[in-house]
Amino acid sequence: MGKSALIFGVTGQDGSYLAEYLLSKEYEVVGVKRRASTDNCINVKNIKDDDNFTLVEGDITDPSSVYDLVLHSQPDECYNLAAMSHVGTSFIQPSYTIDVNANGVLNILEQIRKCSLHTKFYQASTSELFGDNYTIINGQKMQNENTAFSPNSPYAIAKLAAHNLVRVYRAAYGIYGCCGILHNHESPRRGTNFVTRKITRWIGNYYRDSNIPKLKLGNLSAYRDFGYAADYVKAMHLMLQQPIPDDYVVATGNAWSILEFAQAAFQYAGLDFGEHVEIDSALYRPCEVPYLQGDSAKIRSLGWKPSINIQQLVRKMVDYDINHG
């Protein structure tokens, strides 16, 4: 009999890729989605009819909802990929961000503690925890598991609270809990309010209508370590297969500025970046994180590595948005 998994946030980018990956390994997967008045299941449409996949409604901010899900599924593994995941929005909705990203994780940990102690738990942490901090590794500014945290947004503060909750529940109650400190990971399933997908989606729309308004972007000088989300969910799974729970940085080890990402996308599409883009100061964040580049030696020592580089990721996203209107 195969293993079972409970995935909170299954309809998002990471949740959908993870569900597909676990189903390929013959897991029984219960995916939790938020109730919505519009269809939010596009990312899981290709697995909705899989006999080993069950899609249910739930809300990590509701302890009773989480209790029922954990109690009834008694999963071998539980992955929390549900979050208010947009850094910029967290400045506008800080209370909601704290409730989902911190209290929601507490709810899951509490229910595992009370009724499913055998369950291995994965929490999606983030490179935004590092803020302005970095470690010099081989002459480069990078972040690894030993780099100090210095969160620079309500989003990152809430994620740090969740990260520390996992650490405390691991020590206090023996819960098998791992945190994946993931650097930016993108794909054609990335939400269109994130800058990478905003760029490639605009290019796709332009191919269908060249009269659309220019693409408005904010800070182009921030550097991020961009990886492919379908690779990163494999790292999540790998963490929970280890004999001892631990936390891991997941990254490609290469950083590009937002400007470089945008220029690469426009160049690949055969468009002039300067002609079609304008800077909108309203899109700048109140506090910016200037440079994130990950050292993922620890997870790589377990056999994980990215399958594509940043250039290939850009092309994959542009191709998708040109071909899927």
What's the CA gap between 21 and 4, in Å, rounded? 13
Question: Hey, which residues are catalytic here?
Answer: 126, 128, 155
Q: Of the candidates 242, 232, 248, which has an alpha carbon nearest to the alpha carbon of residue 308?
A: 232
| Structure token pair of residue 151 | 């969160």
CB atoms within 10 A of CB 91: 15
Which residues are registered as beta bridge partners of 127? none
Distance of CA 287 to the CA centre of its chain: 20
Q: How far is CA 17 from CA 24, 89, 114, 292, in A?
A: 11, 24, 29, 24
What's the CA gap between 268 and 262, in Å, rounded? 10
What's the CA gap between 212 and 209, in Å, rounded? 6
Mutual angle of helices 195-208 and 310-323, in 10-degree steps: 40
Does residue 8 contact residue 79 with C-beta atoms inside 8 Å?
Answer: yes
Q: Of the candidates 197, 206, 188, 193, which has an alpha carbon nearest to the alpha carbon of residue 276?
A: 206
Does residue 91 contact residue 128 with C-beta atoms inside 8 Å?
Answer: no
Dihedral sign from CA coordinates of 292, 293, 298, 302: positive
What's the CA gap between 70 and 62, in Å, rounded? 13
What's the CA gap between 194 and 290, in Å, rounded? 17
